[in-house]
Amino acid sequence: MASPLRALIHGGGIGGLTLATALAGRGHLVEVAELCEELDALGVGIIQPSNALHVMREIGVLDDCLAAGFVWDALTICDPAGAVLAKIPQPRMGDVPSNNGIPRPALAKLLARAATAAGAVIRFGSTITELTDDGAGVEVTLSDGSTGRWDLVIGFDGIGSPLRRRLYGDRYAPEYTGFANWRVTVPRAPEVGGVLMSAGNRAAKALLTPITDELMYLGAVFAEAEDFRPDPERAHEQLAERLADFGGPVAEALTEVTDPAAVVYSRISQVTVEEPWHVGRVVLAGDAAHASTPHLAQGAAMAVEDALVLALTLDAEPSVPAALAAWETRRRPRAMWVQSMSRAVLKQETGTPTTPEDDELLRTGIPGAAHVLVQPY
């Protein structure tokens, strides 16, 4: 499209800020409505695989990501006692690393800087309260009382997306998988030079992921009741109880966990919007449209791919409706493959019965999936 668009992005997470940078850098008028008052407390750490790092390069922040994080190129598989079973080299494409671990707060800050430097405006403490799409544009009222008219509204507002509920009601509420993720930042052990995954039983899986030269995070997946929440006074002890059968680097990392407030707990859920991801000029992206389990470490990567491809497609197509249709045609198969593969791996690791479709995906395996996803998006 030749003329600049007015775009409102609902949600200032990783995908939303990536899109804000990509659109504003192309001359579009972009505002981000972010419910939080700041972007400092956004979790523990995150893996940026090669395909996500290519997006970071395209929006001009690759060097910042690598400087703030920890580059690694091999996945180490251990048994629960900590004995190394395999080291699997990770694929890379072109001149970017295969993986980068980075603290989520650091990534949020550098993406916010990039978005504002490109010309986007981030409106903290605001969310959409009213929305009317008349076909030619979208009239929006925000919670701060301001109003505006936009050519496009994009919901990068996460797995609990209020915008998704506005479009589809409760038809696509998050589906709890029966498992939850415990994460906590600890000092990086010298031997953890890449992701170390300790598995071998159906009760739990633990991972150590380096995110800076000094830090790594301990992540652990367990079956948990849907209504379970850690005790705020003893969450670190509850995590230790669940990891009692693990030795080696996982056990050593666990000795560093002494503050219950440092433990981050999140249920692992999935969202699949089976209807079109866009209704008129309002579109859902990232976890709002296709949240996956974390077993391929591709959730944020899919979000930033969504963002960049949307910006590219808006450039290439003659109208917003045409661009949204073309974007979804391009993105849906890849995002749904990641979701299906991630869920199949979850079933395999936990002994849950699999379908023939799951079994076909599992023949690819996690190393094979990495080779599939390193290809251009």
Percent of the chain with pLDDT over 90: 91
pLDDT in the model for residue 376: 81
- Ranges of each domain in the chain: 6-43+105-173+271-373
Q: Is residue 131 within 8 Å of residue 153, measured between CB atoms? A: yes
- At residue 349, the pLDDT reads 85
CA distances from 83 to 76, 164, 248, 336 (A): 10, 45, 7, 35
Query: Sign of torsion, CA 295 300 305 310?
Result: positive
Q: How far, in Å, are 32, 50, 57, 160, 340 from residue 127 at the CA level?
A: 9, 32, 30, 13, 31
Instruction: Tell me the pLDDT band of 3, cut-offs 50, 70 and 90.
Output: confident
SS3 for 215-262, per residue?
EEEEEEEEECCCCCCCCCCCHHHHHHHHCCCCCHHHHHHHCCCCCHHH
The candidate with the shortest Cα–Cα distance to 142, out of 115, 160, 170, 122, is 122
287 Cβ contact partners less than 8 Å away, ≥ 6 residues apart: 15, 158, 159, 161, 271, 299, 303
User: Could you tell me the pLDDT band of residue 201, with boundaries at 50, 70 and 90?
Assistant: low
Report the distance separating Cα 96 and Cα 54, nearest Å.
Answer: 7
Rounded Cα distance between 221 and 212, Å, is 22
Q: 0.85 cut: is pTM over it? A: yes
Taking residues 340-366, report their average pLDDT.
Answer: 92
The answer, yes or no, to whether residue 352 has pLDDT greater than 90, is: no
pLDDT, average across residues 182-192: 96
Cα dihedral 143/146/150/152 (nearest 10) = -20
200, pLDDT greater than 80:
no
pLDDT surpasses 90 at 204: no
What is the dihedral angle through the alpha carbons of 36, 41, 42, 45, rounded to the nearest 10 degrees?
170
Question: What average pLDDT does this structure show over 181-188?
Answer: 97
Region label for 232, one of left (φ > 0), alpha (ψ between -120 and 50) or beta (otherwise): alpha
Domain at 6-43+105-173+271-373: CATH code: 3.50.50.60
The model's pLDDT over 257-308, given as tens digits with 9 standing for 90+, comes to 999 999 999 999 999 999 999 999 999 999 999 999 999 999 999 999 999 9
The pLDDT of 304-324, averaged and rounded, is: 97
Q: What is the pLDDT of residue 43?
A: 74
Q: What is the pLDDT of residue 351?
A: 84
**What is the spatial distance between Cα 36 and Cα 58, in angstroms, rounded to a whole number?**
27
Give the model's pLDDT for residue 40.
Answer: 63
Query: What is the arithmetic mean of pLDDT over 138-150?
Result: 96
Task: Give the model's pLDDT for residue 202.
Answer: 61
| Residue 265 pLDDT | 96
Average pLDDT over residues 313-322: 96
83 pLDDT higher than 60: yes
Mean pLDDT, rounded, of the chain: 95
pLDDT of residue 82: 93
For the segment 87-121, what is each residue's pLDDT rounded down to a tens digit?
A: 999 999 889 999 999 999 999 999 999 999 999 99
Give the lowest-confidence range in 2-11, 147-156, 197-206, 207-216: 197-206
20: pLDDT confidence band, cut at 50, 70 and 90? very high
